[in-house]
Amino acid sequence: MSPHDGHGALGAQALLQAWEQAQALHPLQRADVLLGLAWPEVAPGAWGTLPLGTRDAHLFTLFETLFGATLDLRVDCPACGEALELALRTTDLRPEPPDAGAGVPPLQCEGYELAYRLPGSDDLIALIDTGDARDPDAAMARLLDRCVLQARHAGQPVAAIELPPPVIERLQQEMAVHDPGADLRVALACPACGHGFDRRFDIGATLWDALDDWAERTLAEVHTLASAYGWSEPQVLALGAARRQRYIAMVQG
């Protein structure tokens, strides 16, 4: 189904409604609205508890369904400021989702034994809500407090905030190994100055930008056709993209 079809869960009307509803939300929550539209059978609260890579794998699928397999990326070179425009394939970036059902094995490190879970978007939202997102150390402490289920040293329980830095570092490495899609990076080389650098890739933000562009274009089409023919918004959207384009061409003569 493409967003240009008028009807259905991912039809133009439903997408415009979701776009409008999600405007005021945080980017992480916007993605949840779109995921809920595409997978209505999944409980609304479930997306935020999935490992980030699993959630992002669904966002890749939704992007492909709506907009195809090409991702247009615009990045400014940090060295010379040159604007780089790249067309990437979703298949080049799509992470292998972790096996969410299996959970992660306990970690043993420096005499500590940790049971933990992989972070989901609920955990990231909790950091933003408390303002910890601006303080990396406080954010990591709070994230560990949420994701470390049990920590023991020499048989005694230990609070997550009391874990020594080498154990925390190792835990972060383990989390990255078990959920490689949680932090997707694209390696880039500037054609103007040759500088090599990498950039974090956020499929949720990319999907939202594409939807935002599509919504603006679609509203302009509705405006043109509603003005010319007196049709209502649902009537214009029910036409489908190809017929809308033909009528707009005739209106603009």
User: Among residue numbers 192 through 251, which ones bind Zn ion (CB under 5 A)?
Assistant: 192-193, 195
Question: How far apart are CB 230 and Zn ion at their closest, in Å?
Answer: 52
d(CA 129, CA 125): 6
- Cα–Cα nearest to 62, from 103, 9, 108: 9
Beta bridge partners of 197: 188
Question: How far apart are CB 87 and Zn ion at their closest, in Å?
Answer: 19
User: Among residue numbers 44 through 83, which ones bind Zn ion (CB under 5 A)?
Assistant: 77, 79-80, 82
Instruction: Identify which of residues 127 and 190 has a Cβ nearer to Zn ion in the complex.
Output: 190
Long-range contacts of 128-133 (CB under 8 A, 24+ apart): 128/26, 128/28
Q: How many helices (H) and strands (E) does the chain have?
A: 10, 8
Instruction: Identify which of residues 177 and 189 has a Cβ nearer to Zn ion in the complex.
Output: 189
Instruction: Identify which of residues 149 and 193 has a Cβ nearer to Zn ion in the complex.
Output: 193
CB-CB neighbours of 3 under 10 Å = 20
113 near 171, Cβ under 8 Å? Answer: no
d(CA 214, CA 210): 6
Instruction: Identify which of residues 188 and 248 has a Cβ nearer to Zn ion in the complex.
Output: 188
Question: How far apart are CB 193 and Zn ion at their closest, in Å?
Answer: 3
Under the binding rule (CB under 5 A), the answer on residue 33 touching Zn ion is no
Question: How far apart are CB 209 and Zn ion at their closest, in Å?
Answer: 23
Instruction: Identify which of residues 37 and 186 has a Cβ nearer to Zn ion in the complex.
Output: 186
Q: How many residues bind Zn ion (CB under 5 A)?
A: 8
Question: How far apart are CB 58 and Zn ion at their closest, in Å?
Answer: 34
Question: How far apart are CB 85 and Zn ion at their closest, in Å?
Answer: 13
Instruction: Identify which of residues 42 and 193 has a Cβ nearer to Zn ion in the complex.
Output: 193
Phi and psi at 78, nearest 5°, equal -70, -20
**What one-character-per-residue DSSP string does 19-62 give?**
HHHHTTS-HHHHHHHHHHHH-TTS-GGGGGGS-HHHHHHHHHHH
Choice from 190, 203, 239, 241 touching Zn ion (CB under 5 A): 190
Residues that bind Zn ion (CB under 5 A): 77, 79-80, 82, 190, 192-193, 195
